[in-house]
Amino acid sequence: MDELISRIMAASGLDQSLVQKAIGIILAFLQKEGPAAEIGQLMAALPGAQELADAEGGAKGGLLGTIGGMMGGGGGVMALGGQLMGAGLSMGQIQSVSKEMFAVGREKAGEDTMGAIVGAIPGLGQFV
């Protein structure tokens, strides 16, 4: 996890606490929206990932998450973007964080695993 955090900090210019929060938000989203088997492989490949996801899993995205929930479902990638922007990230930073996070995921969990995750979540491909 330290490698992932360091790489995202370098790519995005964000501080460690915000990077950890962003990773947690993304992982919690993936656990909720993605294919269970592949998400399990990703989480196993990133020691400490479950703790970050659990820390942010209770955050439902504030108003955007509530609206998404009322519309049926979690709001998908738009709700994820809203959560990340609510945490203080710009769109450019969101893209930097997600691209680096998925690059590390490919290195640790494998291209097939990450491809299945991206393919299973509509709209996710535009961020990675």
Residue 57's pLDDT band (cuts 50, 70, 90): confident
Here the tokens at position 50 are: 């479950």
Q: Per-residue pLDDT for 61 more than 60?
A: no
Give mean pLDDT, residues 49-71. Answer: 63
* Residues 6+ away with beta carbon under 8 Å from 74: 29, 32, 33, 65, 68
- Determine the Cα–Cα distance for residues 62 and 93; give it in Å rounded to an integer: 20
Instruction: Read off the pLDDT of residues 86-99 as tens digits, 9 standing for 90 and up.
Output: 999 999 999 999 99
DSSP state of 46: S
Q: Are 23 and 51 in contact (CB under 8 A)?
A: no
| Inter-helix orientation angle 91-109/2-12, to 10° | 150
Here the tokens at position 89 are: 């990230």
DSSP state of 3: H
Domain ranges of the chain: 2-60+92-123
Q: Between 72 and 113, where is the model more confident?
A: 113
Instruction: Read off the pLDDT of residues 15-37 as tens digits, 9 standing for 90 and up.
Output: 999 999 999 999 999 999 999 99
Here the tokens at position 41 are: 């492989």
Q: Per-residue pLDDT for 9 more than 90?
A: yes
Which pTM was predicted?
0.86
